[in-house]
Structure 1
Amino acid sequence: MGLVSVAPLPGHGVSVGALVLLRHAEHPAFTEREEGLGRLFAARAGAAMSAARLYAEQHAITQVLLRELLPPKLVQVRGVEFAGGYRASEDAEQIGGDFYDVHPAADEDGETFALLGDVSGKGLEAAVLTGKIRNTLHALHTMAGNYQQVLELLNATLLSGSGPMRFATVVLASARRVRPGEDASLKDITAISPTAGGAAGEMISSGRDLNRFFDALIQGRLLYPAELREMQRTRPTGSDDGRRYGLGMESRPLPCGGVYWGHTGDFPGFETAGGATAQGRRASIMVNLGPGSSDAQSDDMRAALETALCADRPGT
């Protein structure tokens, strides 16, 4: 027969095992000091194992919560490209009050619901509210066509909750593939006031007046020479077309040589491009777009503008 010494491995309220020490019968029995050392080792080992198990459980719960509270991987919808990124301000706080989401339509001709928002505050408390907002909007996304009703229901849901009052800013949008043809539905963009664009959308003018404005600006009839020079002090934008930006005005190289000065702009339903050269050529282009612009359309507009500015006759 050998000698056995058993010591429990205590945990947080529950034993996590036992420490069993064996000694051959030919050796002397365990001394009181050896048994005390075994019990001390067992107590510390049990506490460490219990803490490790508790940490593993909490880590698993945290990972589940992070997956639910972090912005999801965006779903690509046929005909519409979505892109997004999320970067925490601190390594210790991976979640917070910023969020975005996309809810694809049930079929390829349906309306895809997209949202972007920010909750006041930061950290876990803000992240919990973002989760509540995302879940609520997920349940309401079938009503994507009525933004006002969706926001009113979301607001009522948030106000009915308990805890500290927080506010959130939410932007809702929808995208739907429109097939060309006589039966294609139309979007009424006249209900959107261009004044929402601030100074960029509050001027009502014509192409002729816009050309006169660009010409007067570039020829030095509107500003003092020092002011115009400061306005035309540009920095590169990094674009492939050589565009440079100054104080509210940009310069672009012309295919026929030289540069022109002007600006572009777009708003739901419209896009404009205009400019003038130091030699007195000027041109403006405006197109109606439904429902919005694309890179290809913008490229076509810029090509048309440059063709007009490179023509032998002054632009009109």
Structure 2
Amino acid sequence: MRGFRTARLAAAGVLFAVMLPAATAQAETASPTSYNVWQWNVAGNTFHGGRSDTNMVSLAASSIVYRNADFVAFNELCKGQFDELVRQLAATNWPQVETNFARFEPSRQANTGVCGGAAFGNAIFSKRPLGTADRIPLADDGNTLERRNMLCAPLTDGSGVRFCTTHLTTVDSFKWTQLGEINQKLEAWSAAGEKVLISGDFNVEPDYPSMNSFYAATANTPHNGGNVGSYRELDDNDAGNCPGYGEPTSNTPPSPTNPTPCGGNQKIDLILVRESALAAPGSYSADALTTSKDCTPGSRNPDGLCSDHRILTGTVTLK
């Protein structure tokens, strides 16, 4: 029976998610639950030209299954690549419900000069069934072809857990505004009793002043100080990798005039959770994975590097 459903998905080429009602209340006696989070900006247009046959999609699907991810987020993903990920993940029996585990939200619509004519944007995947997605446009940075957004969806299991992704602008003057919008939305969900995980390419580093309103004061270190927010980043407590900052996630060296606090490449991909949602202080960890060079070479990746970002994985235990 599963083979029949998988074949039908492959024939359709896309997944139209069943929009189940969002959970409105947490279970009365919720016990701590651990979640594995997997995040990657895949450079789906820049490195892969919108193609799904460069091995990036297959490597991503294999990594998601191998690492037993509960939540998955992609940035710079082309719609055809999303459809192929849906097909491959459904074929692995990874999701609990193969008709309700994926959401896609374009930041660039079809026929805007990317992805071979397809749409381009953010995507989330979940092992557990998802409720109705919130598709939130962020402040307009003046780019007439692209509108940055935040994509979120709650689980339908009564846990009160919601997962989000975002990809912020590269225009410095608008980053503060977009970060403020995201923070405000996350705090509203938290005030309503939800536990929110957000991952994505924030295009800012943990030690930037614009992130002080996100990071909690308990995250302060010589590498990332002045914080007044409510969130921890799943890689901020690794004593061996720049405490308070974390491991690099970019494969592009930083400008000599803007060095990172511990040297090396930048960390701009983050997985954030509100400190008050943690089952216990420090009940999380993360790791930035070395990017594979097993993708089809192109003009921007002549050595077969699969992205200009590293995959970021993390584990967190929530109340």
Normalising by structure 2, what TM-score?
0.25
- Structure with greater proportional helix content: 1
Larger radius of gyration: 1
Normalising by structure 1, what TM-score?
0.25
